[in-house]
Amino acid sequence: MAVPVDTVTKQPQPPPPSPSSLRFAFGNVLAFFILLLIGVLAFSIRLFSVIKYESVIHEFDPYFNYRVTQFLTKNGIYDFWNWFDDRTWYPLGRVIGGTVYPGLTLTAGTIWKVLQSLNIPLSVETVCVFTAPVFSAFAAWATYLLTKEVKGTGAGLTAAVLLAMVPSYISRSVAGSYDNEAVAIFALIFTFYLYIKTLNTGSLFYATLNSLSYFYMVCSWGGYTFIINLIPMHVLLCIVTGRYSSRLYIAYAPLVVLGTLLAALVPVVGFNAVMTSEHFASFLVFIVIHVVALAYYIKGILSPKMFKVAATLVVSVGLVVCLAVVGVLVAVVASSPTKGWSGRSLSLLDPTYASKYIPIIASVSEHQPPTWPSYFMDLNVLAFLVPAGIIACFSPLSDASSFVILYLVMSVYFSGVMVRLMLVLAPAACIMSGIALSEAFEVFTRSIKFYISSLSEFLETDAGDVMPGSNGSPQFDVLKTEKKEDSLKERPSRKNKKKEKDVVVVKEKSSVKSKTEKRPLVLPAEVSFFALFLTVLLGAFYVVHSVWAAAEAYSAPSIVLTSHSHDGLHVFDDFREAYAWLSHNTEVDDKVASWWDYGYQTTAMANRTVIVDNNTWNNTHIATVGTAMSSPEKAGWEIFNSLDVKYVLVVFGGLVGYPSDDINKFLWMVRIGGGVFPHIKEPDYLRDGQYRIDSQATPTMLNSLMYKLSYFRYGVYTT
């Protein structure tokens, strides 16, 4: 209570709303600095990989993105659009410009260009490595904006700080993880923020920005279909629950029109933006919202009686038309080969689809459904806070909070289908948990404040001079709690102010009335203190877990392996050894055959032509390589020779004990090969249904090219 008095005396110039405006300004500055620190936190927590390992591109897909970025910075944007890459999918090649989501590449390329024009000589690689951490900071800020629109600044800051270090997002955005998701999550959250902002303000300006942000999302990641399905769902929800407003119309209609037009500009999407069924929901809702808008308009100009008559007429005619439209739609969908749905999208709706029909999708570990521990690993305490957040969102339910709830529910479903979509769930969980934590803090601190104010009031009314010690200690507590909550969020401090005002009012008026006003939200002080302590502890657990996850679990670049043994750290750099050898000691035009896992890395690090790569767009071609690997030596050689292959890259970990080598993946090669070439039969490679590579292995297995390459002269070394 000492603080506001000070501020009142200190400011002489602006006369009327002096204490509140100054506190407001102070709160804004504080929020700004907290946001800045959140950005720093989000960036720096992702640098473990650079500090523990090195500044290097990670894993598989990032190498492809890095290579594309190199091409872009070297040859310019026009060559990039027209780039036909003859280094992969030999002899087919691949049109990179038309089959790649260019958002990430263009972003990093632009950053590099800007730096270059300022004469800051950062290499393309460095820019690529640090793009993800930078965009994580942006994503944290976007989360702040989104949550602020839903539940205010305090919740926004809490959600931002949670997102800055949510392990699920860290796993995809550590320094070096130069993948689409790194920028796409920012774009996703920012698009949602602009949607909510438009919904709250009804401003066309934000609606336009929303379309542009959606365009950036479409450029960045195939996950944009999540947005273009989620927003229509929310609009439909609003309409069904009778929440239609002109703001909703402004938020939705421009997005569909502008967004679809812009999306069609991206070569990889093109006419898919209007032709595939992933987008149909948005058009359907577009029609619905117009019908509803018309209905509201007519309702406005007709008398209630007339409207009733008109409604029955329109509904009966409309039903017929709708049926016809639905019939046409179904016919269109049914006539396209995969029923208008791409394989990945189908596996979203039917989790068992991929494993049943597309072995190539099923063979990727990140396309598997997640296990329960992975929820705990990736979300940690957020998983428990989310329900509380949902409850908080229902009181009161607004357009914005209903959207967040819908987002959460949908993303929970999708994360259950495919482990890598956990990434989409993470922001929703952070927002919900942020709201929950912020609400909890608000309630606890408010009750403590109330307790203290009633205490001081009691003391004042009771006697003028009591022991100074007992008077001083609660005040000290107030300051302490104030500090604590200020560091976490800013909103409660405004609440405090309101509270303090109330306290002044209380002093003047009867105390009974104020107590009845406050009672529903006030807890006993001891409980509040304890709960506050527990909540802080919960937060601390989350921080500890996140830092551990960032440092230990998610920063390994996977091209360098390390192992700790009794005589120190061992570094296995065999992948790069092989790629470097290929790059320096083979002819530039030599073809290298390997399983598709190593395709991107071979083209990027060794700069040699590969037969198949991680893009996996041509199942037959992959099956050809799988067949060659599963065939006997002579047949395998013939296949490879027909593909002009000069080198075969095989990863074998049998000698040093590296488990994820090619012989371990071999059964997938058999399955994928057998899917196209029926003479490869999986049972031939299994002994009584068991996958064996020892003396019990079947003759087909022992004679397969992969087995022979892996165990070439193995006996000489082990005996």
Partner 1 sequence: MEGRSGLTLLLTVMALSSLHLRSCHSSSDLQILTADRRIDLASHIIRVALVLKVQNDGASPASNVLLTFPPTQAKHLALLQAAEVTGKKKKKTLHTLDAKPSDQADGPNGAKFFSISLRNPLSTGGSVSIEVSYILTQSLEPFPVEISQSEPQLVLFRDSSSILSPYPIKQQTTVIRTPSTRVESFTRVEPSSQLRTELKYGPYENKPAFSYTPILVHFENNNPFAVVEELVREIEISHWGNLQITEHYTLVHNGARHKGGFSRVEYQSRPALSGVSSFKHLVAKLPPRVHSVYYRDSIGNISTSHLRTSYSKSELEIEPRYPLLGGWKATFIIGYGLPLKDVLFEADDGKRYLNFSFGCPIAETVVNKITNKVVLPEGSKNPSVVVPFSVERRAETKYSYLDIVGRPVVVLEKENVVPEHNSLFQVYYEFHPMFMLAEPLMLTSVFFFFFVAALAYVHMDISIRK
The answer to whether the beta carbons of residues 89 and 99 sit under 8 Å apart is: no
Closest C-alpha to 22, from 46, 40, 6, 38: 6
Query: Of all helices (H) and strands (E), which one includes residue 359?
Result: helix 359-362
Nearest distance, CB of residue 557 and partner 1, angstroms: 9
Nearest distance, CB of residue 604 and partner 1, angstroms: 8
Nearest distance, CB of residue 521 and partner 1, angstroms: 36
3-state helix, strand, coil in the chain (%, to 5): 75, 5, 20
Nearest distance, CB of residue 582 and partner 1, angstroms: 10
* Cα–Cα dist 363/135, whole Å: 30
Nearest distance, CB of residue 580 and partner 1, angstroms: 4
Nearer to partner 1, 365 or 718 (CB): 718
Contacts to partner 1 by CB under 8 A: 54-56, 118-121, 559-560, 571, 573, 576-577, 579-581, 584-585, 605, 655, 713, 717
Nearer to partner 1, 120 or 467 (CB): 120
Nearer to partner 1, 305 or 584 (CB): 584
Closest C-alpha to 60, from 600, 484, 642: 600
Nearer to partner 1, 573 or 638 (CB): 573
Nearer to partner 1, 556 or 560 (CB): 560
First to last CA, the chain: 82
Nearest distance, CB of residue 640 and partner 1, angstroms: 17
Give the count of alpha carbons within 13 A of 17, CB side only. 6
* Cα–Cα dist 587/584, whole Å: 8
The answer to whether the beta carbons of residues 246 and 289 sit under 8 Å apart is: no
Query: Of all helices (H) and strands (E), which one includes residue 562?
Result: strand 561-565
Nearer to partner 1, 526 or 577 (CB): 577
Nearer to partner 1, 324 or 656 (CB): 656
* Cα–Cα dist 502/446, whole Å: 12
Query: Of all helices (H) and strands (E), which one includes residue 84?
Result: strand 84-85
- Mention every residue, 6+ apart, whose C-beta is less than 8 A from residue 402: 234, 237, 238, 241, 243, 393
* Cα–Cα dist 413/422, whole Å: 10
Nearer to partner 1, 48 or 221 (CB): 48
Separation in Å, CA 631 to CA 279, 635, 688 = 43, 6, 20
SS3 labels along 637-705: HHHHHHCCEEEEECCCCCCCCCCCCHHHHHHHHHHHHHHHCCCCCHHHHCECCECCCCCCCCHHHHHEH
For residue 604, what is the DSSP state? Answer: I
* Cα–Cα dist 200/202, whole Å: 6
Nearest distance, CB of residue 54 and partner 1, angstroms: 4
Nearer to partner 1, 617 or 714 (CB): 714
Nearest distance, CB of residue 203 and partner 1, angstroms: 13
Nearest distance, CB of residue 374 and partner 1, angstroms: 29
* Cα–Cα dist 471/540, whole Å: 31
Nearest distance, CB of residue 576 and partner 1, angstroms: 6
Nearest distance, CB of residue 68 and partner 1, angstroms: 16
Nearest distance, CB of residue 585 and partner 1, angstroms: 5
Tokens of 237: 């929800």
Nearer to partner 1, 531 or 561 (CB): 561
Chain centroid to CA 125: how far?
A: 23
Nearer to partner 1, 206 or 221 (CB): 206
Nearer to partner 1, 57 or 269 (CB): 57
Q: Which amino acid is at 615?
A: N
* Alpha helix ranges (H) inside 509-618: 511-518, 525-548, 574-585, 599-601
